[in-house]
Structure 1
Amino acid sequence: MKKIIIIGSGGSGKSTFGRQLHERTGIKVSHLDALFWKPNWVAVPRDEQIEVQRQLMEQPEWILDGNYGGTLGMRLDAADTVIFLDLPRTVCAYRVIKRNLKYRNRTRPDMGEGCIEQFSWQFLKWVWQYPKERRPGVLRQLDEVRHEKNVVILSSKRDVQTFLDQL
């Protein structure tokens, strides 16, 4: 477990899990949200996202947290371990709202500088619809790489804690 990607719905705990994994393994974690958003929520162009990820993945070990479906394939190819935080949508939605209140009018530690936390019905809707709209495609991609990668699916807060405790 040297090249790790963490994926899951918004609010599933990817960034927190990434930091905890770093604390236990010493492997540097990179939060893709912090790399791919410029101030005022201006997205980094896709070609730049690809180049940043290529550079990160050239390192002998890494943890990358974030979805970015358009570049997930390249991360899946390079990773030896895929961790899918597959938590219930109610937990994810609650965490998104809680996070919004906690960091309201400030930038979260795992976000790009100058990206002030704001409530978004559109994002909350995306989180709520994730199990139906995105999850099936993610599971298909994981099934395709399961024979050559260490695929870990964690479906509850208890699963997450047990996994971390066993490291």
Structure 2
Amino acid sequence: MMRVSVVGNSGSGKSTLARALAVRLGVPYVELDAIHHQRDWQPIPISGFRTRVAAATSGSRWVVDGNYSAVRDLVWARADTVVVLDPPRRAVMRQIILRTVRRVAFRVELWNGNRERWRNLFTRDPNESVIVWAWHRHSVYRDRYLAMANDPRWRHLTFVRIQSRKDIRRLLNSVRPAA
């Protein structure tokens, strides 16, 4: 495990696990959201996104956190492992609600000056509310990544499905830095 892609629903624990894996492996951590979301939540143009992700994954060891289909081919072509975060919906919803309220209440800066807004807690628009997004995308991500694990295009990858905190502990305890 030297080049790892960590994927899953918003609120599933991707960033927390990806950071912990990067520390455990002693490798760079790459957060796709930090590259994608520019100031005022403006997305980086696809060509720039792909260029920056290609550069970030050009090394021999890294952990990438994120689901962006626009760069999945780049990341997965270079990866050796895909860790799929797939906890139950109730766990994701508990985590995403608590995380979002904390970020809004304490005005936590996420990426490039962006912060979550109070109004996003109360909208039902999945493009504005990460909570609504996570509710609607839960089974989409599960189905997508289970199918991809069986897709011959990705047979070079080892897929690791994480469904619980116990699975997370087991994975982290099994990881040793490369010599």
- TM-score, length of structure 2 as denominator length: 0.84
Task: Indicate conservation of the 8 Å contact 1:8/1:66, yes or no.
Answer: yes
Deviation at 1:90, TM superposition (A): 1.4
- 1:133 pairs with 2:140: yes
Q: 1:38 to 1:147 in 2, by over 3 A?
A: closer
- 1:114 matched to which residue of 2? 113
- Supply the AA of the counterpart residue of 1:148: H
Deviation at 1:103, TM superposition (A): 1.5
- 1:156 pairs with 2:164: yes
Task: Indicate conservation of the 8 Å contact 2:36/2:44, yes or no.
Answer: yes
Please list every run of 5 or more consecutive structure 2 residues that lacks an aligned counterpart in the other structure: none
Deviation at 1:8, TM superposition (A): 0.2
After the TM superposition, list the runs of 4 or more consecutive aligned residues in structure 1 that deviate by more than 4 angstroms.
none
Task: Indicate conservation of the 8 Å contact 2:50/2:70, yes or no.
Answer: no
Deviation at 1:130, TM superposition (A): 2.0
Identity value in percent: 26
- Supply the AA of the counterpart residue of 1:124: I
Q: Give 3-state SS (helix, strand or coil) of 1:64's partner.
A: strand
Deviation at 1:146, TM superposition (A): 5.7
Q: Give 3-state SS (helix, strand or coil) of 2:150's partner.
A: helix
Q: Which has the larger radius of gyration?
A: 2
Deviations 1:43-63 (A, max 9, x none): 111111111111111111111
- Supply the AA of the counterpart residue of 1:127: A
Deviations 1:121-148 (A, max 9, x none): 4232221122333321222122125632
RMSD: 1.7
- Supply the AA of the counterpart residue of 2:167: D
- 1:124 matched to which residue of 2? 131
Q: 1:107 to 1:44 in 2, by over 3 A?
A: farther
Deviates more, 1:34-43 or 1:123-132: 123-132
Task: Indicate conservation of the 8 Å contact 1:107/1:114, yes or no.
Answer: no
